[in-house]
Amino acid sequence: MNIKIPLSDFLPWGVCSFCDIEERLIQCRAKSRIPKGAKSVIVYLFPYYLGDDSYKKLNISKYAVPDDYHIIVGAYLEKAVGELKERHPGNSFEPFCDNSPIPEVKAAVLSGIGVKGDNGLLINEKYGSFCFIGEIVTDLEITPTTASKTECLKCGKCKKACPDGAIGDGFCKEKCFSHLTQKKGELDERSAEFIRKNGCIWGCDNCQNVCPMNENIQVTPIKEFLESAKSEYEFGDSIEKRAYSWRGREVIERNLKIMCCNDNKNEL
C-alpha cells in the first residue's frame, strides 16, 4: 500500500522490502528490536554537508563537525515513528541508525535514493555521499520505491586517494583510517605516521573529498546540523555531544598527541 511518509517534504527517502535485505542482516544487539513479521524498511538520508568554509580550520572528518548524528537523526526518526503509530495504530515501527542490523547502504540503494560508490558509500544525486542513513522497520506492507541507477561513475579516484589501500576488490576495514582513528590502545608508529600525514584526528574523508559525484552538492537542510557545527574549538569546550566522544576521551587525546607532538607517547 501507499502511505504518507513523515519527513518526506525535506529529506530524501525511499522504501525497500524487508525480505530483500533479510539474508544480509548485521549481527548486533539491536537486531532483537526488529518487529515480528517485518515487511518494509523506510529509508531516509540525513545530509550533513555544511559548505566548504565550515571545514577550513578543522582536523576532524566532516561527519563529526556537528553534534553527534546518532542524537539528531534519532530524534527525527522518533518523531516520524510517533506520526506513523498515530496513523497506523495496529502496526509496529522501529527506528534504527548506524547501530542497526540493517545493511544501510544496501537498503538505501534498493530504495532508489542513491547509488553505491566504489568507496562503499551511498551517493545521492543532490547531497552526494555526505549523508547519514537512518531507517524505520515496520510490519506494514508499503509499496517499495525503485532504483533506476545503482552504480557510481567508476572513475577510480577514491581508490587512488585511499592512503593505505583499504579500497581494493573488497574493503579492508583494518586498513581504513576511519577505523584506525577509532581504535583503542596505543598505535604502532606506522599507524601514527599515517594519522600525521592524513592530518585528520577523527575519521577520514579522502575517498569522499575526491569523488566527482560530490561536486556541486547542496548544503544540508537540517537545522540541527547547521546550528551545532563549530568551525573552531576553544580550550575547555565540551565534547560530550560530539560523534568522537563515544570511544572515550583517551582515543581522541591520543590522536591529538600524535598530531601535535609528532610522537604518540609524548605529553601535549
Q: Which stretches does DSSP call E strand in the chain?
A: 13-17, 40-47, 93-96, 115-116, 122-123, 131-138
Could you tell me which residues are beta bridge partners of residue 46? 132
Strand pairing report for 93-96 and 131-138: antiparallel
Which position among 55, 187, 205, 257 is part of the footprint of ligand B12 (CB under 6 A)? 205
Which position among 19, 26, 153, 239 is part of the footprint of ligand B12 (CB under 6 A)? 26
**DSSP string covering 50-61, please?**
--GGGGTT--B-
**98 is a catalytic site residue:** yes
**DSSP string covering 132-198, please?**
EEEEEEESS--PPP--S--B----SHHHHH-TT--BSSSB-GGG-HHHHHH--SPPPHHHHHHHHHH
Interacting span for ligand B12 (CB under 6 A) from 87-95, 121-129, 231-239, 256-264:
121-129
Taking the least distance from each CB to ligand B12, the nearer of 102 and 258 is: 102
Instruction: With H, G, I as helix, E, B as strand and everything else as coil, classify residue 95.
Output: strand
The reply to whether 258 sits near ligand SF4 by the rule CB under 6 A is no
| Residues in the chain, total | 268
x/- mask, ligand SF4, residues 15-54, rule CB under 6 A, reads ----------------------------------------
x/- mask, ligand B12, residues 44-63, rule CB under 6 A, reads -----------------x-x
Taking the least distance from each CB to ligand B12, the nearer of 88 and 159 is: 159
Taking the least distance from each CB to ligand B12, the nearer of 173 and 249 is: 173
d(CA 149, CA 55): 31
The reply to whether 220 sits near ligand SF4 by the rule CB under 6 A is no
Angle between helix 249-261 and helix 189-198 axes, rounded to 10 deg = 80
d(CA 11, CA 44): 7
Contact call for residues 60 and 201 (beta carbons, < 8 A): yes
In whole angstroms, the minimum distance from the beta carbon of 169 to ligand B12 comes to: 7
Span 77-116, contacts to ligand B12 by CB under 6 A: 97-98, 100, 102-106
Span 80-139, contacts to ligand SF4 by CB under 6 A: 117-119
Q: Which of 180, 208, 207, 206 is nearest to 264 (CA)?
A: 180
Contact call for residues 234 and 57 (beta carbons, < 8 A): no
Span 161-200, contacts to ligand SF4 by CB under 6 A: 161-163, 166-167, 176-178
Q: Which of 52, 98, 169, 237 is catalytic?
A: 98
The reply to whether 206 sits near ligand B12 by the rule CB under 6 A is no
Query: What does the binding site for ligand B12 look like in residue numbers (CB under 6 A)?
Result: 24, 26, 61, 63, 97-98, 100, 102-106, 118-122, 129, 131-133, 167, 170-171, 173, 176, 178-179, 203-205, 207
Query: What does the binding site for ligand SF4 look like in residue numbers (CB under 6 A)?
Result: 117-119, 152-158, 161-163, 166-167, 176-178, 204, 206-207, 210-213
Catalytic residues: 98
